[in-house]
Amino acid sequence: MSPSSRIPGFYKLAPAMRLRALEPRLEKHDFEAYHRGLSLEAADMMVENVICTFVLPCAVAVNFLINGRETVVPMVVEEPSVVAAVSNVARIARKDGGFSAESDPSHMIGQIQLMDVRDPRGCVARLTEALPRLRAQARGIHPRLEERGGGLVDFEVRHVVYDEPGRRREDMVVLQFVLDVVDAMGANMVNTVAEHLAATVVEVTGEALGLRILSNLADRRLSRARIVLSPDALGTEEMDGREVADRIAAAWRFAWADPHRAATHNKGVMNGIDAVAIATGNDWRAIEAGAHAWCCRDGQYRPMTRWEIREDGRLEGSIEVPLQFGTVGGPIRVHPTVQSNLKLLGVGSARELAGIAAAVGLAQNLGALKALATEGIQTGHMRMHARTVAATAGARADEVGDVTVELVRTRDFSVERAQQVIARLRRAP
Ligand code: MEV
């Protein structure tokens, strides 16, 4: 059984002590990995023209109960309030049983495009007839993937039309395939299969080959998470919990109705998902692209989550979004911090990791909506920002807390004000 993720006062500890508090989840070499970070040599192997490494804060969200499992979540993010907000929501949610989360199998889509096809119907028929041959060919491209239960799942032959008004129409035929990539994100595997099958696609159709590439609209690889909260858990000093819950549901309806609000709503969700993606060495641009494209599936850009008051008066939140996460391959093998972060999460599969990321996205969204529905976002933001101001003004580690309290109390977040507070503290006996 995992040790509790509820670690009271975690945020008050010094970073080294926080790591110590996570000791039961880690091994000795993880502490070294957190200490060392990514070496210049390893970075030089990851991308081209490296000149240095660029460091971001790696924090841990606590309090999460996901599918009954105590989960601490590493998050890499530069924005204040994100980690505090999810930890706070997770603390509230665990009283009502926490989050449930699940993910579809890791089915990625690949596309092989034929351009400017003169007889699209005939081309579709010829390709459809050749599917058994293509299926046999796809087997054996990734034998180790098949050993792990993955491999080709499905084919679809599509007629796609470019018909932008005022331009020449172009018919295209696309062979789309679905590959179960198991615990990988899968881009390389899918692209390899696409390139292997392309020659046969051209041979059986006689058409001109276009692109051979994965689709980041990974809509066969959805993750879902859900929470149900009693409104009492949401009350603030100024507002009754039922009103907060009503206002959260109203905020969601705004996002559903208006793409301008939906974009900001979803940005908040991605604050959580991206931070988990970066901490676990995943391709957050792919995840972003897939998630936003999915939100347009009915023709209007919509929110990724849903918030509603149930008949029993409780607030229900859910998220469904394509999440192309991996736990093997890519930078995951090379980056020592990523490996330790995965250990910290204790995940056994990419599907489990994606489910956790969905739960964190939902938590982040609730944190934002709760703040927006009550005191507004700036109070919390400025409280966090005050720490940075205190440090900029020259506060020592043991002074930051007192300076922050004073800046928040007087609502003056200037560096000058922070310097005055520091001077006063140092004069005090
Ligand atoms: C800020 O990073 C995210 C929010 O704007 C999200 C939202 O408005 O729901 C607070």
The finding on whether 94 has its CB within 6 A of some atom of ligand 1 is: no
The finding on whether 268 has its CB within 6 A of some atom of ligand 1 is: yes
DSSP 397-428: HHHHHHHHHHHHHHT---HHHHHHHHHHHHH-
Q: Are residues 210 and 113 in the same domain?
A: yes
- Digit-coded pLDDT (tens) for 278-296: 999 999 999 999 999 999 9
Q: Which of 184, 215, 246 is the last residue of a domain?
A: 215
CATH number, domain at 395? Answer: 1.10.8
- The β-bridge partners of 176 are 111, 156
pLDDT for the residue numbered 272: 98
Measuring from atom 7 of ligand 1, which residue has the nearest CA?
265
Shortest CA distance to 325 belongs to which of 101, 56, 13?
101
Domain assignment present for 221 = no
Between β-strands 315-322 and 222-229, what pairing exists: parallel, antiparallel or unpaired?
A: antiparallel
User: Quick check: 80 and 385 in contact, CB under 8 A?
Assistant: yes
Centre of ligand 1 to C-alpha 368, Å, is 6
Is the pLDDT at 140 greater than 90? The verdict is no
DSSP 207-270: PEEEEEEEES--TTSEEEEEEEE-GGGG--SSS-HHHHHHHHHHHHHHHHH-HHHHHHHHHHHH
Domain assignment present for 359 = yes
Chain position carrying tokens 């706070």: 88
Measuring from atom 3 of ligand 1, which residue has the nearest CA?
268
DSSP state of 24: G
Mean pLDDT over 238-260 rounds to 97
Name the H helices within 23-150: 28-36, 40-46, 82-94, 120-129, 131-138, 143-147
Is the pLDDT at 381 greater than 80? The verdict is no
The angle formed by the CA atoms of residues 283, 356 and 154, to the nearest 5 degrees, is 65
Q: Are residues 187 and 41 in the same domain?
A: no
Q: Are residues 91 and 161 in the same domain?
A: no
- Locate 38 and state its tokens: 């990514």
The finding on whether 377 has its CB within 6 A of some atom of ligand 1 is: yes
Q: Which of 23, 44, 79, 147 is catalytic?
A: 79
Diameter of the chain by CA atoms? 90
| Residue 171 designated active-site | no
Is the pLDDT at 384 greater than 80? The verdict is no
Shortest CA distance to 87 belongs to which of 97, 72, 102?
72
Atom of ligand 1 nearest to the CA of 81: 2
Residue 150, amino acid: G
| Residue 381 designated active-site | yes
Centre of ligand 1 to C-alpha 273, Å, is 13
CATH number, domain at 169? Answer: 3.30.70.420
CATH number, domain at 265? Answer: 3.90.770.10
Sign of the alpha-carbon torsion through 20, 380, 375, 255: negative
Instruction: Give the chain's mean pLDDT.
Output: 95
Domain assignment present for 5 = no
Domain assignment present for 392 = yes
Q: Are residues 183 and 170 in the same domain?
A: yes
Domain assignment present for 1 = no
Q: Are residues 361 and 248 in the same domain?
A: yes
Q: Are residues 346 and 401 in the same domain?
A: no
Q: Are residues 361 and 243 in the same domain?
A: yes
Chain position carrying tokens 């018919």: 171
- Locate 413 and state its tokens: 């977040």
Shortest CA distance to 273 belongs to which of 357, 364, 359?
357
Q: How confident is the model at residue 380 (pLDDT cuts 50, 70, 90)?
A: confident
pLDDT for the residue numbered 177: 98
Out of 7-21, 211-225, 257-271, least confident range: 7-21
Q: Are residues 98 and 21 in the same domain?
A: yes
Q: Are residues 91 and 168 in the same domain?
A: no
Residues with Cβ within 8 Å of 241's Cβ and at least 6 positions away in sequence, in order, are 230, 231, 232, 233, 234, 235
Q: Which of 164, 193, 215 is the last residue of a domain?
A: 215
Q: For residue 125, give its domain range.
A: 107-215
Measuring from atom 4 of ligand 1, which residue has the nearest CA?
268
The finding on whether 364 has its CB within 6 A of some atom of ligand 1 is: no
3-state SS, residue 4: coil
Domain assignment present for 345 = yes
Pocket test for ligand 1, best of 89, 247, 375, 377 (most atoms within 8 A of CB): 377
Q: Who has greater pLDDT, 332 or 121?
A: 121
Alpha carbons 291 and 276: distance in angstroms, whole number? 15
Q: How confident is the model at residue 147 (pLDDT cuts 50, 70, 90)?
A: very high
Q: How confident is the model at residue 220 (pLDDT cuts 50, 70, 90)?
A: very high
Cα 31 to Cα 10, 15, 333, distances in angstroms: 18, 12, 17
The finding on whether 368 has its CB within 6 A of some atom of ligand 1 is: yes
The finding on whether 271 has its CB within 6 A of some atom of ligand 1 is: yes
Domain assignment present for 362 = yes
3-state SS, residue 197: helix
Domain assignment present for 51 = yes
| Residue 267 designated active-site | yes
Shortest CA distance to 284 belongs to which of 295, 299, 273, 292?
273
Between β-strands 315-322 and 208-215, what pairing exists: parallel, antiparallel or unpaired?
A: unpaired
| Residue 28 designated active-site | no
- Locate 55 and state its tokens: 């460091």
Q: Which of 283, 352, 399, 406 is catalytic?
A: 283
The finding on whether 267 has its CB within 6 A of some atom of ligand 1 is: yes
Alpha carbons 272 and 268: distance in angstroms, whole number? 7
Pocket test for ligand 1, best of 372, 375, 385 (most atoms within 8 A of CB): 372
Atom of ligand 1 nearest to the CA of 82: 2
3-state SS, residue 102: strand
Residues with Cβ within 8 Å of 245's Cβ and at least 6 positions away in sequence, in order, are 229, 231, 234, 309, 314, 315
Cα 63 to Cα 22, 57, 206, 233, distances in angstroms: 13, 19, 59, 15
Mean pLDDT over 254-264 rounds to 98
The finding on whether 251 has its CB within 6 A of some atom of ligand 1 is: no
Q: Which of 215, 243, 270 is the last residue of a domain?
A: 215
Atom of ligand 1 nearest to the CA of 369: 9
Centre of ligand 1 to C-alpha 428, Å, is 40
Between β-strands 151-162 and 170-180, what pairing exists: parallel, antiparallel or unpaired?
A: antiparallel
The finding on whether 264 has its CB within 6 A of some atom of ligand 1 is: yes
**Reduced DSSP (H G I as helix, E B as strand, rest coil) percent helix, strand, coil of the chain, to 5:** 50, 20, 30
Atom of ligand 1 nearest to the CA of 371: 10
Measuring from atom 9 of ligand 1, which residue has the nearest CA?
265
Q: Are residues 413 and 334 in the same domain?
A: no
Alpha carbons 80 and 93: distance in angstroms, whole number? 21
pLDDT for the residue numbered 331: 79
Q: How confident is the model at residue 377 (pLDDT cuts 50, 70, 90)?
A: confident
Atom of ligand 1 nearest to the CA of 265: 9
Q: How many domains does the chain contain in total?
A: 3
Q: Are residues 127 and 169 in the same domain?
A: yes
- Locate 214 and state its tokens: 């994965």
- Locate 407 and state its tokens: 């800046």
Q: Are residues 289 and 365 in the same domain?
A: yes
Residue 348, amino acid: G
